[in-house]
Amino acid sequence: MSKHIELILPIDIDSVKGFLSHAEGEALFRCASTLAQGAVAVEIGSYCGKSSVYLGLGCKATGSTLFAVDHHRGSEEHQPGEMFHDPQLVDDTGAFSTLASFRKTIRAADLDDSVIPVLSSSAQFARAWQGELGLVFIDGGHSLDAALLDYRSWAGSIAQKGLLAIHDVYPGSEAGGQAPITVYRLAMASGLFKEIMSVDSLRVLERL
């Protein structure tokens, strides 16, 4: 990662709901800021846009594009009665929805030209996608089935020297769910990736 582009946050990132540490966000920014002009990144799981800002700023600096993929109805853990449910993110129909918050975040960060929201499930968009990707960030559903589907849907589209970033990789269940680390181990065991960065719970792999 030879390029050095300064991260300047245009918004108060701490005001954006999300589960990404600033150090992890800076790492995502550095990853996106190495993309070639015209390259494409895909983010699986945007929530209210915190990670999208870091990735989007990196893409904006390099003339690349981020597709932010999320159905915005929340993962299993965001539903009523679950550990990470936020009653402030319930829309006027009574359903959990992060879409309005996401759009507000992207607009406030002046990223409408660099971040393209995709209102879809990861697997649906993957079926329609054609072409290679410079970066894939997986932070969608954390059930084992959802995480494996995200990996299997997108890993094959990552170009040589492209990056696969996985969030919430915890070595033990006492720290967090084990689906992301299962995906991480699967990627490493495939022989197609090598780890190049570890920041908090974020792991970044490079396609060989």
> Is there a catalytic annotation at residue 142?
yes
Distance from chain centroid for Cα 115: 12
Q: Are 57 and 31 within 8 A, CB to CB?
A: no
Query: Of the listed 71, 72, 142, 167, which one is catalytic?
Result: 142
Q: Torsions phi, psi of 31, nearest 5?
A: -65, -50
CA gap 48, 119 in Å, rounded: 13
CA 61 to chain centre: 18
Gap between the Cα atoms of 164 and 187, Å rounded = 9
List, by residue number, the catalytic residues.
142
